[in-house]
């Protein structure tokens, strides 16, 4: 057999005649030399010391596969030794060698058949070992690789060795015109061949300790507790595999990078300092592994190489939950089941990192895998800790962007991201703010638009505004000013309901300045009253003022929680039920928007079990979802609305005369009532209410609002006493009806958990004037986008207010009326090209024909101020501003 091709390397004496007498234990089997696994295992992990083959520890994965195929070929023909002939045949099975020879027009399949036909069948049934000729070829290949300054032998090295040392084996190739010099010339153009194959860990991993030595890792601070816990686990004798658990962006990977820096600087125990951390990415191992078993081969290669280090290599696997199920296709084992035995025996050490939800979703399902890891919790840092973390990174970003980052910019990045970027976590979102602001400043400076390169607070605000869509003016408002004038700010967009506005403002002020329990929500309210009176609208206005935008509101329609089984949707379905993975509708919404208004709409329709959840929320300011995560509500305002008792209120209102609740203020031709003039209100505040605390526009309202109205009739504010007394009487009766119904429906302990129970008054006709102006403003803004102005005469506004008024349905019919009577005709008006860009449409009311008249003004309308409850003057048709005329006497419709 050994002389079949006249080889230069002789097999042991009488090998061909004494094959049957050869003991399988006389030499280590070749499969053990290459590794015990049937899959691809690099020989570098288990060199055969008995045979002194140094080359076996320097085979790359492809060469290991070649040696494995050579072993299988020797077993097929039942030979004791793996001879160069089997090694040469195995080379032809390598994909890259196959392509290389095809480039020289070699028929590889034909050559393989010819060589196999010349092989002799033996009778050995054991594991074949390396023959002397094969050993010499491998050693010569290793020498050639070292000459190229490459550590690992590739199949190309072995092929070139056949040409340089074993001329007869290469003869079939030479007969087809293939020369070793030509192959070498072609390979010299191959970058991978010139630089050599990396080790498996170098190919699929990153040496974090080496990066730490090179100063390529970012500095880490503020994680001393987590780092200490990590070191303690790594130094354990058993179960010394930590897994870092925390939300995305809190700095899990940074903790491991910090550990690598501590190891390099000698700040850990000596046993740990001499080890190496290799960051391994499962995605890289899976990528391109299309054939069955290919992924397992790569992973086994990694494991064996890590084991060969005798515990000096620690594998760091980010997103370690991807191990569970990775590669498990076609009946193959997933990565976790491949790794599990090795970490059980303590042959390798692993540091994992994953999020809380992924840990519960994947790890906790595989208890055998979970118990081999020790959890290290990594919570979101506080604002002060996040500022410190960003500060230590400042030099890196300054150097990269060539900018100067101020301390104020760092504080603003942390504070604003914490407040307005709720779906992400510190310090990641603050770092991203700094990074993007630096890039923007650098770009502006390069374009000559900016003389300095300093990152300031305004630059951070610009980025936050762009991310969230919140106007910069909202971001720059001082909260103290906002709280001091909260009533005024609300009344810019919200008409009437002084009692409700003051009650809400006072509760919010108490919560924000620390006079309430710090762990409870900022404030909590029950809004009661007839439909259409503005309960939901006040919540929207409050969201915009407090948190910068109207969509900073989590709205839950409580009619969706009428059934007992639907209550679980608030905090998430229990394990085993549909929807468990999705989390709770309330808890997940607050987790992503921690600064928001939580609106529980029509709470009386919810199942009674919902109230048990509310008790905990209102008292402790937190809820625990179905996965054990605690969600804080301390930065939210809870608003529950209810129409309870609305039928009784509607009946009560129908019994009362409309003139008794303010109709005379519209139908009268007398001048505007002083009670509706905010200037008059501001100049005559009651002595009991300090004007320095409560804004002037609402300073006449007593401190106790909601259902406590005992003192309301003592101050007529210029309205005739009889009218005010009648109005207060109706309100008191309505409040009593609502409170009686409330106590019948809700338990006392729930009602007492709310800061205020606010009863909304029915709207009056005088309120409708202001609401109409506010509603028209939205139509005006839409037309302004098309560069078209809109003005309404006082008669048109009064008629809309009169037609849109319905004491039973509040202001809801007004929106439909404006669409039908104003917006629809304007649409036809514009389609007919009756008004062009830059012109203004004037809407008037003709009482004789009972129709709205549309015409075109000669000059564009001036910019209108924001509507408020202060009865602003309207522009005249000539574009000037003139006082409002007194309302004309008209009968209500």
**pLDDT tens per residue across span 348-367:** 899 999 998 888 878 887 78
Beta partners for residue 466, in sequence order:
none
CB burial readout 46-60, b (16+ within 10 A) else e: bbbeeeebebbbbbb
Topology classification of domain 383-476: Helicase, Ruva Protein; domain 3 (1.10.8)
Strand partners, 354: 245
> What is the residue whose two structure tokens read 């008059």?
680
In 3-state terms, what secondary structure has residue 435? Answer: helix
Pairing of strands 313-318, 349-354: parallel
Say if residue 34's pLDDT is above 70: no
Side-chain-facing half-sphere of 122: CA atoms under 13 Å = 25
Question: Which of 296, 287, 366 shows the shortest CA–CA distance to 328?
Answer: 296
- The SS3 of residue 637 is strand
* Region 748-754 average pLDDT: 88
Q: Which H or E element spans position 592? A: helix 585-592
**Which structure tokens are listed for 58?**
């320097």
Element (H, E) at 177: none
Q: What pLDDT does residue 655 have?
A: 60
Model pLDDT for residues 468-527, shown as the tens digit of each residue = 777 776 666 666 777 888 888 888 878 777 788 888 888 888 877 767 677 788 889 998
Q: Higher confidence at residue 749 or residue 27?
A: 749
CA 829 to chain centre: 47
Dihedral pair phi/psi, residue 708, rounded to 5°:
-90, 105
Q: Is there a contact between 376 and 229 (Cβ–Cβ < 8 Å)? A: yes
Query: Phi and psi dihedrals of 204, rounded to 5?
Result: -110, 5
Exposure class string for 145-155: b at 16+ Cβ within 10 A, else e? beeeebbbbbb
Nearest residue to 639 via CA among 591, 585, 598, 594: 598
Higher pLDDT, residue 577 or 160: 160
pLDDT of residue 883: 42
3-class SS of residue 495: coil
Over residues 319-333, mean pLDDT: 63
What would the two tokens of residue 622 be? 């937190």
Contacts of 335 (CB under 8 A, 6+ apart): 282, 285, 295, 299, 322, 323, 324, 326, 327, 328
143: which 2 tokens?
């020498």
Asked if 637 contacts 682 with a C-beta cutoff of 8 angstroms, the reply is: no
> What's the average model confidence in pLDDT over 255-280?
91
**886 falls in which pLDDT band (50, 70, 90)?**
very low
Q: Name the CA radius of gyration of the chain, rounded.
A: 41
Residue 485's pLDDT is 81
d(CA 543, CA 493): 12
9: CB partners within 8 A, 6+ apart = 2, 84, 131, 132, 133, 134, 136, 137, 166
CATH class name, domain 482-657+702-759:
alpha beta
Neighbours of 291 (CB within 10 A): 9
Percent of the chain whose predicted confidence (pLDDT) is above 90? 14
Mean pLDDT (the chain) is: 76
Q: What is the percentage of the chain residues whose pLDDT exceeds 70?
A: 76
pLDDT digits (tens, 9 = 90+) for 83-107: 888 888 888 888 888 888 888 888 8
Class of domain 765-882: mainly alpha
340 pLDDT above the threshold of 80: yes
Please give the Cα distance from 306 to 288 (Å, whole number): 22
Instruction: From residue 888, give the alpha-carbon distance in Å to each of 662, 719, 847, 855, 878.
Output: 15, 19, 11, 22, 22
Residue among 745, 311, 368, 693 nearest 506 (CA): 693
- Give the residue from 836, 876, 881, 880 showing the smallest Cα distance to 856: 836
CB 717 within 8 A of CB 681: yes
Please give the structure tokens belonging to residue 717. 């504010």
So what's the pLDDT on residue 871? 38
| DSSP conformation class of 126 | S
Mean pLDDT is lowest, of 654-663, 667-676, 723-732, 745-754, for 667-676
Q: Where in the chain is the domain with CATH 1.10.1780.10?
A: 19-197
User: Could you give the CA distance from residue 280 to residue 656 in angstroms, rounded to a whole number?
Assistant: 78
Q: Give pLDDT tens digits for 673-720.
A: 333 233 333 323 333 333 333 333 333 333 333 333 333 334 444 444
Rounded Cα distance between 206 and 216, Å, is 12
Structure tokens at 326: 């990775």
The better pLDDT of the pair 57, 43 is held by 57
Domain 201-377 CATH assignment equals 3.40.50.300: yes
Residues, the chain, total? 893
- As annotated, the residues of the chain forming the CATH 1.10.8.60 domain(s) are 383-476, 765-882
| Between residues 519 and 585, the one the model is more confident about | 585
**Distance, CA of 735 to CA of 729 (rounded, Å):** 10
- Tell me what pLDDT residue 638 has: 92
In the predicted model, is pLDDT for residue 890 greater than 70? no
Contact predicate 808/757, CB 8 Å: no
**CA–CA distance, 583 with 577 (Å, rounded to integer):** 11
Give the pLDDT score at 277: 93
If you average pLDDT over residues 46-62, what whole number do you get?
61
Contact 791, 840 (CB under 8 A): yes
Distance CA 727, CA 716 (A): 11
| Other beta carbons within 10 Å of 891 | 7
Of 2.40.128.20, 1.10.1780.10, 2.40.50.140, 3.30.230.10, the CATH number of 19-197 is 1.10.1780.10
Residues 6+ apart with CB under 8 A from 849: none
Spell out a b/e string for 340-353, using b for 16 or more CB atoms within 10 Å of the CB, else e: bebbeeeebbbbbb
Residue with token string 């603003």: 412
Residue 242's DSSP bridge partners are: 374
pLDDT at 656 over 80: no
Q: Are 371 and 337 in contact (CB under 8 A)?
A: no
Q: What does the pLDDT look like over 779-833, one tens digit per residue? A: 888 888 888 888 888 888 888 888 887 766 767 788 888 888 888 888 888 888 7
Question: How many angstroms separate the CA atoms of 406 and 410, rounded?
Answer: 7
Pair 769, 804: CB distance under 8 Å? no
11, 132 contact by CB (below 8 A): yes
Helix (H) or strand (E) holding 837: none
- 765 pLDDT tier (thresholds 50, 70, 90): confident
pLDDT at 577: 76
Helix 132-147 with 84-92: angle, nearest 10 deg: 50
- The ranges of the chain annotated as CATH 3.40.50.300 are 201-377, 482-657+702-759
pLDDT band of residue 401 (cuts 50, 70, 90) is very high
Cα separation of 370 and 350, whole Å? 13
């Amino acid at each position: 057999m050994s002389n079949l091709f006249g080889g230069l390397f002789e097999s042991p004496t009488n090998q061909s005649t004494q094959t049957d007498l050869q003991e399988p234990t006389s030499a280590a089997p070749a499969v053990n030399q290459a590794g015990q696994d049937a899959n691809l295992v690099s020989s570098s992990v288990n060199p055969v010391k008995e045979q002194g083959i140094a080359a076996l520890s320097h085979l790359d994965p492809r060469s290991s596969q070649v040696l494995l195929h050579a072993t299988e070929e020797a077993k097929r023909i039942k030979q004791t030794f793996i001879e160069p002939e089997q090694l040469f045949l195995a080379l032809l099975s390598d994909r890259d060698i196959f392509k290389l020879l095809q480039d020289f027009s070699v028929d590889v399949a034909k050559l393989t058949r010819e060589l196999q036909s010349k092989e002799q069948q033996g009778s050995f049934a054991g594991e074949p070992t390396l023959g002397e000729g094969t050993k010499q070829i491998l050693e010569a290949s290793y020498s050639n690789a070292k000459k190229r300054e490459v550590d690992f032998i590739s199949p190309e090295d072995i092929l070139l060795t056949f040409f340089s040392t074993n001329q007869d084996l290469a003869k079939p190739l030479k007969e087809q015109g293939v020369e070793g010099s030509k192959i070498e010339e072609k390979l010299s153009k191959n970058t991978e061949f010139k630089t050599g194959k990396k080790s498996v860990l170098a190919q699929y991993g990153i040496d974090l300790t080496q990066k730490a030595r090179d100063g390529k890792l970012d500095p880490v601070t503020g994680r001393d507790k987590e780092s200490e816990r990590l070191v303690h686990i790594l130094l354990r004798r058993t179960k010394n595999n930590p897994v870092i658990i925390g939300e995305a962006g809190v700095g899990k990977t940074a903790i491991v990078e910090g550990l690598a820096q501590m190891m390099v600087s000698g700040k850990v125990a000596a046993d740990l300092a001499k080890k190496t951390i290799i960051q391994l990415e499962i995605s890289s191992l899976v990528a391109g592994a299309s054939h069955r078993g290919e992924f397992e081969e790569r992973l086994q290669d990694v494991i064996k190489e890590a084991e060969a280090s005798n515990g000096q290599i620690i594998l760091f696997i980010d997103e370690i939950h991807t191990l569970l199920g990775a590669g498990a296709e076609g009946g193959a084992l997933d990565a976790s089941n491949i790794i599990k035995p090795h970490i059980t025996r303590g042959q390798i050490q692993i540091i994992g990192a994953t999020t809380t939800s992924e840990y519960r979703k994947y790890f906790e399902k595989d208890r055998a895998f979970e118990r081999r890891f020790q959890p290290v919790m990594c919570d979101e840092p506080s604002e002060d800790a996040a500022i410190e973390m960003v500060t230590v990174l400042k030099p890196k970003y300054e150097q990269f962007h060539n900018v100067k980052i101020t301390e104020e910019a760092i504080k603003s990045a942390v504070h604003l991201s914490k407040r307005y970027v709720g779906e992400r976590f510190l310090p990641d979102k603050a770092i991203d703010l700094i990074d993007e602001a630096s890039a923007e400043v650098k770009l502006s400076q390069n374009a000559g638009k900016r003389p300095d390169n300093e990152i300031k607070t305004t630059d951070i605000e610009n980025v936050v505004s762009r991310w969230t869509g919140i106007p910069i003016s909202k971001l720059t408002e001082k909260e103290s000013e906002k709280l001091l004038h909260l009533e005024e700010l609300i009344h810019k967009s919200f008409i009437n309901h002084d009692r409700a506005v003051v009650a809400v403002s006072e509760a919010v002020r108490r919560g924000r300045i620390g006079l309430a329990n710090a762990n409870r929500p900022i404030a909590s309210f029950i809004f009661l009253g007839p439909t259409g009176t503005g309960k939901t609208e006040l919540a929207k206005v409050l969201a915009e003022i407090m948190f910068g935008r109207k969509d900073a509101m989590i709205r839950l329609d409580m009619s969706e929680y009428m059934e007992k089984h639907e209550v679980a949707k608030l905090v998430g379905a229990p394990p085993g039920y549909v929807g468990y993975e999705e989390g709770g509708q309330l808890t997940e919404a607050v987790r992503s928007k921690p600064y928001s208004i939580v609106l529980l709409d029509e709470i009386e329709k919810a199942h009674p079990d919902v109230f048990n959840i509310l008790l905990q929320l209102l008292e402790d300011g937190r809820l625990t979802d179905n996965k054990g995560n605690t969600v804080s509500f301390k930065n939210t305002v809870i608003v529950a609305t209810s129409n309870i008792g609305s039928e009784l209120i509607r009946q009560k209102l129908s019994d009362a005369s409309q003139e008794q609740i303010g109709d005379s203020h519209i139908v009268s031709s007398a001048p505007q009532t002083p009670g509706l003039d905010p200037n008059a209100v501001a100049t005559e505040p009651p002595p009991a209410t300090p004007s320095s605390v409560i804004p002037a526009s609402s300073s006449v309202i007593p401190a106790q609002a909601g259902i406590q109205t005992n003192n309301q009739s003592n101050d007529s504010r210029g309205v005739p006493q009889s009218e005010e007394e009648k109005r207060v009487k109706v309100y008191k009766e309505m409040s009593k009806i609502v409170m009686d119904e409330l106590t019948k429906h809700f338990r006392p302990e729930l009602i007492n958990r709310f800061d205020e129970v606010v009863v909304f008054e029915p709207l009056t006709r005088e309120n409708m004037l202001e609401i109409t102006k506010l509603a028209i403003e939205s139509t005006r803004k839409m037309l302004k986008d098309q560069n078209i102005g809109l003005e309404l005469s006082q008669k048109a506004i009064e008629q809309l207010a009169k037609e849109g008024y319905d004491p039973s349905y509040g202001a809801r019919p007004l929106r439909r009326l404006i669409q039908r009577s104003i917006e629809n005709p304007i649409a036809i008006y514009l389609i007919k090209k009756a008004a062009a860009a830059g012109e203004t449409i004037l809407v008037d009311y003709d009482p004789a024909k009972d129709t709205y008249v549309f015409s075109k003004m000669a000059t564009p309308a001036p910019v209108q101020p924001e509507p408020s409850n202060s009865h602003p003057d309207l522009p005249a048709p000539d574009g000037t501003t003139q006082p409002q005329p007194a309302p004309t006497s008209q009968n209500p419709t």
